[in-house]
Amino acid sequence: MKLDIGTLVFVTSLLWLCQTAALIVQYRIGKAYRGMGWWLIAVIVQSVGFWTMLAVMFPPIYVLAMFGNPLMYLGQIFLIVGILKFLDRPVPVRMLSAIYASFVISYYWFLFVDANLSARTAVFNAFIGFLALATAAYLFRRKKPQFASAANFTALVFFIFGLIEFIILLSNSLPSRYSEYSQVKEDPIALLNFIAPIISSVLWTYGLILLVNQRLNGDVQLEKEKLRLIFNIGPQAELITRMSDSLLVDANNELVNLTGYDRNEALGQKIIDLDLWTTPEDRASYMEELGREGQVDQREFAFRRRDGASFVGLTSGRLIVIDDEPHVVTSVLDITVRKEIEQKMQALLAEKNAQYETLSLIQDQLLKVNGELERLSAQDKLTGFFNRHKLTEMLEHEIFRWSRYGNPSTLVMVDIDHFKRINDRFGHLTGDKVLVQLAALLQAKVRKSDFCFRWGGEEFLLLLTETGYEDALLTAEKLRLFVETSSDFPVESLTISLGVVTWSEGWTQEEWIHQADMALYQAKEQGRNRVVGTASHE
């Protein structure tokens, strides 16, 4: 085959197609990396630019050829953008835009204003050479260690291609070599303009593929190192066993601390032969759950060390496929100390709960005792009536209630007539019985809302709540009459005298009691066995 422009055009077309196909495949493999889409776009744009340039050979579409070189150069711009993104470097958008704008202006100047084929070719060589050298510089200076060799190779390709473009540029600076496209076919320098891009494009495409593959390999190796680091750095033992026969294919360094077996010694042996499981039922349960669920999460099993000592292992497992065969990744964390602490904590908690229950029981008993003491402190032991301490509290409450709601309350002071004679004649025990029986009678004949107090000796005080003066007099008279006619007392006859006083505004407790005592005194002065009342302070 004759090496002429036609042959080179045919070969170049095939190469552009092959490059595009190769980069499409590579993009699908490593599209996670930034910039690879730009490489693919660059090759497609350059291919379109190359085929557009061929329009110069066909007069009907001759005008399309003017877009060929600008498209080729635009593809080269996209290529350097993709490389910068692949290197994780910022893209100088303004600078690249300015360079492209300068190229387009210069190129079309020598096409429309000063039509000069050699000048247009020189412009293309200069700008392409500059961009190739810039690409080489980026790859040399900005490469990463995991793909350094591929970056150096690709940079060298761009560097040599840039030098060749400047050599062609210098050759074109001689007196005009050609002014028509017909002269290009016979010019060896023009042939070099085709041959250099063909060879360099093949080489930089190969270099880009090397970059991606080397970076993939580096990333895979890095991930392996990370996984191995994670595999070894944890506090738990990690084991990988074959599902079919429990053969141990890998383990981390924690295996020796957990089981007593050295990693190199244990690899290649079956887990069953190492006798790590304390009971076969535990292992059967673990494998059954793995087969059913595909995983086991934090189950507690009993294991046995090489020296026979037992420990509790917090166990998790996952099914994975290695070389088309199911394997099990098992993680075992020794929690024996933690279980012992938990047991101690549970025992301590149980002890504390028992102490708390005991304290609660004692507290309940104390509350009952305090309640009883409070009741006894407020009651008269003989009659069960409230004593003077409780009387003070109740009178304060009644005075407050009257001031808020205006409901009247009345005190009735009761005294047994000639009680000393009863004690002298019948004895003090009989006198106490009389007091008890009279208290019971008074309690039974007043309302549940009324209160009975023992004032002292044979005197009682009744607080008739929400009771006015007239109603209190009737109540007192009924009590007097009932006692007089009662035959339940252990004496021949018993009478009482009563003093009735309704509270008046401005009185203190002491004044109210004093008025009741004065009314009782008047009843006794008037002959006893009668009721005397005072309606107001006056």
| Residues identified as active-site | 458
CA dist 70 and 45 (Å) reads 10
* Cα distances (angstroms) measured from residue 465 to each of 388, 477, 503: 17, 17, 11
Q: How many CB atoms lie within 10 A of CB 90?
A: 8
CA dist 479 and 470 (Å) reads 15
CA dist 279 and 144 (Å) reads 53
- Spatial strand order of the sheet with 496-502 comes to 451-456, 459-464, 410-416, 496-502, 531-534
CA dist 292 and 271 (Å) reads 21
Nearest CA to 198 out of 15, 23, 51 is that of 15
CA dist 257 and 261 (Å) reads 8
Residues 6+ apart with CB under 8 A from 243: 319, 325, 326, 327, 328
Q: Is the dihedral of CA 510, 514, 515, 517 positive or negative?
A: positive
CA dist 116 and 330 (Å) reads 76
Inter-residue contact 22 to 40 (CB < 8 Å): no
